Amino acid sequence: MSSTEKGRLSTPEGFICGGIAACIAVTISNPAEVAKTRLQLQGELAKGGEKKVYKSALDVFSKTWKNEGIRGMQRGLGPAYAYQILLNGSRLGFYEPFRHAINDFIGRAPNEQIPITSVIAGATSGAVGASLGNPLFLIKARMQAYSPALPVGAQHYYKSSFDALSTIYRQEKFRGLVRGIDAAILRTSMGSSVQLPSYNFTKNQLVKHGILPGNSTWTFLASSTVSGMCVCMAMQPADTALTRMYNQPTKRNEAGKVVGILYRNPIDCLWKTFKTEGVRGWYKGTTAHFLRIAPHTIVTLTANDLIINLYKSIKHRNS
């Protein structure tokens, strides 16, 4: 076995390491996710002049803490953990196998860093994770939007994650659990298409030009910071559409299907948002989104590298 093959993790190993790293990150970033969700729903499809419940991301933090305490700040944390394991476990665990397979398919070396195959692998692995985790993201978004003190958007109250899943299934069957999956795939594919490619490109450039050593924590931090900024810019409009698709009120149509009242699909959501709120509507909650995505990406990717290196050292020590 070559040293390259010996150092490569299997897909299950990469999945587990990625999931652990993401759970560490989401504990830190979840309050900003709550703020982002509420800002994205504020003034939904209003042409202007509406009274704002929240002035900014910091105002959401302040009012949520004052009225709902730590429970309000960490709403949706339970399903967020489960979702992150599925999403980032898939995104980080499947990225390298997909990239190697695509490189091999076009006759290139598996470890060669090719921008287009890296983007395709990132988008594909993200789409897999988004599909698997959609029901969890759905209930997470609804839980984070719920506020007994200062509600914005449609309000869905659930006692727990299990209550949320059972309630949705009882009312809408399987269709309800996959609601918004097209928006989830769009959002995650856009974010994933740039997350790991931008991270790996930055890290390779830092090492290649002798700016930082390859196994330095500072290298991981710098690379993941750049990656976080790229993800935020690429994903924001689709993220707003996803939040609104998940949280919109529903009705039962003439055919007996439960459908969304406001939007048919993510493109319809983006178009209606643009018509009534302008481009700014797409970027509501951007500050809160960056406050979430930056530390989340930094901690996820940095922790993932550290966990993988630790796991490899323990694995090889015992082999």
> Residue 1: is its pLDDT beyond 60?
no
In this prediction, residues 207-235 reach a mean pLDDT of 85
Of the candidates 148, 96, 85, the one whose C-alpha atom is nearest the C-alpha of residue 124 is 96
Measured at the alpha carbon of residue 176, what is the angle toward residues 157 and 280, in degrees to the nearest 5? 70
Q: Which domains does the chain have, with CATH numbers?
A: 11-309 (1.50.40.10)
Structure tokens given for 102: 């695509």
Dist CA 175 CA 185 (whole Å): 16
In this prediction, residues 116-123 reach a mean pLDDT of 85
pLDDT number for residue 158: 94
Per DSSP, 259 falls in state: E
In this prediction, residues 222-239 reach a mean pLDDT of 87
pLDDT number for residue 169: 93
Within 13 Å of residue 122, how many CA atoms lie on the same side as its CB?
22
> Residue 125: is its pLDDT beyond 80?
yes
Dist CA 175 CA 109 (whole Å): 42
Dist CA 272 CA 103 (whole Å): 40
4 or 271: whose pLDDT is higher?
A: 271
Within 13 Å of residue 92, how many CA atoms lie on the same side as its CB?
28
pLDDT tens-place string over residues 69-102:
999 999 999 999 998 888 777 776 788 889 999 9
Burial of 229 (0-12, 13-18, 19+ CB in 10 A): middle
> Residue 3: is its pLDDT beyond 60?
no
pLDDT number for residue 51: 78
Q: Which amino acid, one-letter code, is at 118? A: S
- Start-to-end CA span in the chain (Å): 13
> Residue 2: is its pLDDT beyond 60?
no
| pTM of model > 0.85 | no
Structure tokens given for 278: 């302008």
pLDDT number for residue 48: 65
> Residue 13: is its pLDDT beyond 50?
yes
Handedness of CA 286, 288, 289, 295 (dihedral sign): positive
Provide the pLDDT confidence category of residue 172 given band limits of 50, 70 and 90: confident
pLDDT tens-place string over residues 37-55:
999 999 888 866 677 899 9
